[in-house]
Amino acid sequence: MNFSIRPATKADFKDIWRLLRDLASHEEMLDEMDVTYEELERDAFNQNPWIECLVAEVPEENTSKEGFKMVGLAVYFYSYSTWKGRSVYLEDLYVMPEFRGFGIGSHLLSTLAKVAREKQCGQLELNVLGQNTRSLSFYAAKGGQDITARNDWHVLRFNTQSLNDLIS
């Protein structure tokens, strides 16, 4: 199947929002998605963006059943490790179910790796739900190391209420 990977533009945002909502729904976590359309658009497409995005598109003759050309994305941002230096964090990688198995996810990940190397990042990090064995296998096959199992690292999160409690 023909497809292309490119950096997202603000004109892509409606499709990016659609894909992110599809992902949240696919993971049965749509009710966890608190960010609004306006907030995400602002944070992705301003002078100092908090996130960046690569998008996967298919030609007109291969659109989805609903007529969508944009069929996948990788949302990422930069972070820093005081042990490893510059890092890229992959927040979301998603390909619409009917377009899986054509190498789109692999190409999104490969393109992000190129971006990371161009920015002199020493590592790429991401989280995967433990129940998502298909994604865990995908990333492991690409060389991703499960540091939860290897180093006994645990991901901790402070939600809005916890942040407010910390300030008090």
pLDDT classification of 149: cutoffs 50, 70, 90? confident
Q: For 2-16, how does the pLDDT look when each residue is reduced to its tens digit (9 = 90+)?
A: 999 999 999 999 999
Catalytic residue chosen out of the listed positions 78, 89, 94, 139: 139
DSSP the chain: ---EEEE--GGGHHHHHHHHHHHHHHTT-GGG----HHHHHHHHSSSS-S-EEEEEE--GGG--TT--SEEEEEEEEEEEETTTEEEEEEEEEEE-GGGTTSSHHHHHHHHHHHHHHHTT-SEEEE---TT-HHHHHHHHHTT---HHHHH--------HHHHHHHH-
Q: Give residue-wise pLDDT tens across range 38-91.
A: 999 999 999 999 999 999 999 999 999 999 999 999 999 999 999 999 999 999
Inform me whether the pLDDT recorded for 130 exceeds 90.
no
Output 93 or 163, whichever has higher pLDDT. Answer: 93
pLDDT per position as a tens digit, 84-121: 999 999 999 999 999 999 999 999 999 999 999 999 99
pLDDT computed for residue 154 by the predictor: 81
Q: Which fold has domain 4-126?
A: Aminopeptidase (3.40.630)
Instruction: Respond yes or no: is residue 94 known to be catalytic.
Output: no
| pLDDT value, residue 12 | 97
